[in-house]
Chain A
Amino acid sequence: MTLASYSFVLVFLPIALAGFLLLRRQGASVLVAWLLAVSMVFYSWASPLAAIALVVSSIFNYAVGSRLATVVDDSRRRAFWLFLGVGINLAALATVKYAPLFDPGGGFTRGLVSTGIPLALSFYSFQQMSYLIDISRGDSPAPTFGRYLLFVSFFPKLLAGPIARARTLLPQLDSPALRFSTETLASGLTLFGIGLTKKVILADALIPYASVVFTDAAAGRNVMFADAWSGAVAYSLGLYFDFSGYSDMAVGVGLMFGIRLPINFDAPYRAANVRDFWRRWHRTLSNAFFDYVYLPFAMWSRRVTAAGAYAGLLVTMVLCGMWHGAGWTFVAWGALHGGYLMVNYGWRETRKRWRPLPASLATLGAVLSGAMTFLAVIIGWVIFRADDFPTALRMLRAMAAFGSPFAAAPVTPWILVGLAIVWLAPTSQSIVGLDLEGFHDANATRWWQWRPSPAWGIGTAMATIAALFFLSGRQGDFIYFKF
């Protein structure tokens, strides 16, 4: 069951919400118990074994976290427990993610996949490691086990994020009823409708088109220049609408229950440079990598060499690539973005020594920089999407027109619609009037911004219904589930 499925929208969510509303005045513990129960049902729906694995993992991490909370002032014991906790999470993650590399017959991998255990493991493992690090730093409250388990398993964000940090999510679970209101319910419904529309109408129109082109390339067929570009751009847009749509839906569902989840996308294809891109794309993952990998590594390596910051960027992004899956294309994608960030870092260091540009040149520079960033990101997505290096090279060669015939572009209108939206339209959160932490922004008063009027109620309902119609026969799987 995904957030974009009939079983979720028409059955699971109404029941979960109705129960929540009925129990709303029964106290925080009852509400936490209800949310925990529905989260477990949600996850068990996919695989009961996966739910058991999640509970076992949570018990282990909660125990380590409780231990860490008592030894915050003892650096040696703190380091021991932190390494133990993070190490075991990493080992479990690596075993599941990288099993295919060491299992040529594929029997173990198939068995593992059939249990359903890999589903969501990356996300909840990452979240638990962040909890352990935060609690070792004294940055996180120490919750009860029930609240901790809900922090890990809260169903809207369980399968593909956003990755919520303990210090922002756990305090909300102390008294969810106090944070729920008809306002959060109404805005949550709106954000959910926007996300569903992005996923079902936009992403599902673009991804199949891209798949045809990438499949041709994987089969060794000659891909033409225009097809290659159309496929690459369609995939870039489709991936964005798919994942940001899912994130909007997750944040929207959270809001319906009065729980604020962080915003995961902030118009990434309008980024001025690659550094800016990573502040806007999958924000919760990139922020976590920045805090837990880049900063410690850069600070440590700077003591050894001046190039520590550069090395930190490369290592962080390679690890980020590896987090996405077992495949050298993911490593290459991470390394490519690491390279982009190193160039960006070097450029910024150089620019610091120059005089500021005149305003007209600065504007031109910003436009060029934005265009180059978009291009660089698309090239990265080609490697990310390709099944293997020969496929990626075939696509990139065709895009560079090397040995590839030029033909009239069969550009689907969806690509033009998608480009117009990612470059010009307001983001989902700005329409609903949320800041990047998922809280309502009191300054959101523009004409196109959401307000709780009957017209918006009717419009939101009709958009959701239209998306549900488009959903028929697709039961939309999300691309990011496989990571």
Chain B
Amino acid sequence: MARIASPSRFLWAYVITVSLAALSCGLSAVVLWRAHELSSYRDDVALQQRQHALLGLATFQNFYEYKLSLVAARRSPVLALGSSRIMQLREELFVDGFTNAGGAMNSAEQGRRFLEALPADYHPQLLMLGVDFWWFRREWSDPGDDPRYRDPSQLSPARLRHPYLWLADPRMGIRRIVRLVVSGNIGSTLTSQASVGVQAMVSASGFRPDGSYQYGDHYFGTAAEPDVRFGISLGRIDRQDTAFGPGTDPDPASLSAIDDVLRWAAARHVRVAMFLPPVAPPVRRAMIARPDAFGYVVALTRALEHTARASNVEFYDFLWREAPEAADPCEYVDGIHGGDVVFGRMLLAMAAGSMLAQTVDRAEVRHAIDVYRGHTVTPLDGVRYARPEADFLRLGCVK
């Protein structure tokens, strides 16, 4: 022990370092906590429903878990399930209660899991099942579930970093952060909505109380990377990356998972309307021009039609067939996400002479289409926006 000269200096250095780290982490955690970024999804959903607020967390994202909590809390008779591509279906367009679980289903298998995970004493009366074509590529993998990132209450180093980054963000800065800590909510300068989470506060982006998504930063033309003239989406088709990778024939395992979903619904007497959501017309044309890569979509459409007939459910193809409802590029958020008006038109088409006729508020939908033709967002919920919708895709759209 003779070589140990001064352990007290070691201990002082240790204590000071730990204290500084604890102080900086503690300050950061306080900011996150006051912004509701550290609440559980269950608590966030309760607060969102109570305040009729937009929920947009800046430091955490798990759509699957959020939508499970949301659906369990709302227990609506109409449920939309699919990927982010169906998140513009909104409750104002339906006669009865509606919840959008878009974003929770990023593979056929994940959709099956989602339905199995719903509370045992709840199931919708009508399931609107949005199906993405890329789930049926053999190379598409199920996103799985990482228990480390299940709930916002799970703190991580990356999240503690955020409040320090916000200091340099002109939308936040030290004064707004201090106000946030003091008041717990600094609201949004962009809309009249109550906000839960910092993303909702600074960019008016997030989930509305019904689970539909508000692309605030897109509408106002402040999104970091807008899909200008659909260049990003068309580039992905050229590169054949991720969702736009080539396929041969539809993956049997994914078709089987869709069968399971329909069986789940049949066992509970849940009516199902299954549909392929559209892509923007230029993106669709680029896909059709590449039969080598997207030929499998034709086979997929037939397979889904067959499955739907066999299961006695309705099926609508807005992707591959020439769909006039989805023909205006100005009404898209980006190359693969249709806006509110696109989905309004789709709903009208689906409701014509089908079981959806009694479910869709066709008068409200027609009104939205008439008033907001050529727009992406339809503020049917009474939310006031500080700025008009911008021509964020730079297509020369008159907004």
**CA separation between A473 and B150, bound complex, in Å?**
9
**CA separation between A453 and B156, bound complex, in Å?**
30
The segment out of B14-22, B191-199, B315-323, B370-378 that lies at the interface is B14-22
Which residue of B is nearest A461, CB measured?
A: B17
Interface size on A, residues (CB 8 A): 28
**CA separation between A440 and B13, bound complex, in Å?**
22
Q: In the complex, how many angstroms separate the beta carbon of A192 from the nearest chain B beta carbon?
A: 11
**CA separation between A310 and B5, bound complex, in Å?**
51
Assuming A445-B3, A458-B14, A461-B21, is B155 touching A182 (CB within 8 A)? no
Whether the Cβ atoms of A442 and B21 lie closer than 8 Å is no
Whether the Cβ atoms of A442 and B17 lie closer than 8 Å is no
Assuming A183-B1, A472-B157, is B18 touching A465 (CB within 8 A)? yes
Within 8 A of A (CB), among B224-258: none
A219: Cβ under 8 A from any B Cβ: no
Chain B residue contacts of A445, Cβ below 8 A: 3
Chain A contact residues: helix, strand, loop or mixed: helix
**CA separation between A455 and B10, bound complex, in Å?**
7
Which residue of B is nearest A469, CB measured?
A: B157
Whether the Cβ atoms of B156 and A469 lie closer than 8 Å is yes
Out of A442, A452, A464, name the residue touching B9 (CB < 8 Å): A452
**CA separation between A455 and B12, bound complex, in Å?**
11
Within 8 A of B (CB), among A451-480: 451-458, 460-462, 464-465, 469-470, 472-474
Chain A residue contacts of B14, Cβ below 8 A: 186, 189, 457-458, 460-461
Chain A residue contacts of B9, Cβ below 8 A: 452-454, 457
Chain B residue contacts of A454, Cβ below 8 A: 9-10, 12-13
A7: Cβ under 8 A from any B Cβ: no
A181: Cβ under 8 A from any B Cβ: yes
**CA separation between A460 and B15, bound complex, in Å?**
10
B382: Cβ under 8 A from any A Cβ: no
Chain A residue contacts of B17, Cβ below 8 A: 457-458, 461-462, 465
B50: Cβ under 8 A from any A Cβ: no
A436: Cβ under 8 A from any B Cβ: no
Assuming A458-B13, A464-B18, is B157 touching A452 (CB within 8 A)? no
**CA separation between A469 and B11, bound complex, in Å?**
21
Chain B residue contacts of A457, Cβ below 8 A: 9-14, 17
Assuming A457-B12, A457-B14, A461-B17, is B7 touching A182 (CB within 8 A)? yes
Out of B2, B10, B18, B157, name the residue touching A453 (CB < 8 Å): B10
Out of B7, B18, B155, B157, name the residue touching A186 (CB < 8 Å): B7
> What are the interface flags for B300-330 relative to A under an 8 Å C-beta threshold, 1 for contact and 0 otherwise?
0000000000000000000000000000000
A90: Cβ under 8 A from any B Cβ: no
B165: Cβ under 8 A from any A Cβ: no
Assuming A457-B9, A457-B12, A458-B13, is B4 touching A473 (CB within 8 A)? no
Which 4 A/B pairs are nearest by Cβ-Cβ distance?
A457-B13, A469-B157, A461-B17, A454-B13
Which residues of B come within 8 Å of A, CB atoms? 1-15, 17-18, 21, 147-149, 154-157, 160
Given contacts A453-B10, A465-B17, 20 further A-B contacts (CB under 8 A): A181-B1, A183-B4, A185-B7, A185-B11, A186-B11, A189-B14, A445-B3, A452-B6, A453-B6, A456-B10, A457-B13, A457-B14, A458-B17, A461-B13, A461-B14, A461-B18, A464-B18, A469-B157, A472-B154, A473-B148
Subset of 25 A-B contacts with CB under 8 Å? A182-B7, A182-B8, A185-B11, A189-B11, A189-B14, A445-B3, A451-B3, A451-B4, A452-B4, A452-B7, A453-B6, A454-B13, A456-B10, A456-B13, A458-B14, A460-B14, A461-B13, A462-B17, A462-B21, A465-B17, A465-B18, A472-B148, A473-B148, A473-B149, A474-B148
